[in-house]
Structure 1
């Protein structure tokens, strides 16, 4: 029956079937091509997404590097400014230290004068003016004397040369300044040499 039916088909019917088959084949080919194209596009999208993620990571790393570099530059600039400031403040430290013995000698000379002797009066005034000039110059450059007479003993600023018990004076009080100390811009360049009071001894014998 089938063979007969195929034989009974007209040439037009057979041509139509062939056209339909060819059309179906072309549709399938186009569908396959479209699927392949979609797959390639998706692959490109995936590659672009990976490249974007890598670029964003690189930008983030570079941003961190720039921030760290800026912080380091700021630190170097701050340290340099501090070093310059310290150098400016303490450049005169050695020079000032060399001048202090001159001041000491002038003070000792003044102390040795007899103020009641009229013959020494002019010389005394000259030495006092010289000393005052020295001290004014030192103060101009922030060199200041440390004279702790009757003040509590401070081991950071004072050097105890001896201790002595003094009635009515609290222990660890400076009772005599043998040599003044000096500081430059708040930094000690020479401690004051002092005598310090000590606590009263208690006789525990019966």
Structure 2
């Protein structure tokens, strides 16, 4: 279970304090899916970054399965069981998709396991395993590969920042089924 208590995030812009996230509290029970929607600039990506430890909260508490992870950095939050998929997935020139999947899984993956991960996100696996994770991939392909990396390892909780970005509606409905499965 994830518990978020009185989470706030402020920045200073032009000498003015701007509160981006203001005293937000919510719980996400085991097996529950929470979707946060809102307008551009509404704080959705900021919330995801705060939960993962990419940005430091100004105040509040984040508790995962009874453990206070508020002071944990991104690495320790990942080790505690949080998974994350960025809004804009990073690209790694010279790294193959297969290698990226293995790194994200934390161990060796067979070709069959790698292919299943890619197939689960709507990619024809054999066409992608040896491709580089670089600018030759479209935004939608990158998004799917990143979601596959999140699926490659069990997590207590996965955070997906705009998982639909660059993905057609039919494919996204298939991905929703995968999100529900985890």
Q: Same fold (TM over 0.5)?
A: no
Q: Which has the higher contact order (CA 8 A, sep 6+)?
A: 2
- For normalisation by structure 2, the TM-score amounts to 0.25
> If you compute each CA radius of gyration, which structure gives the higher value, 1 or 2?
1
TM-score (norm 1): 0.23
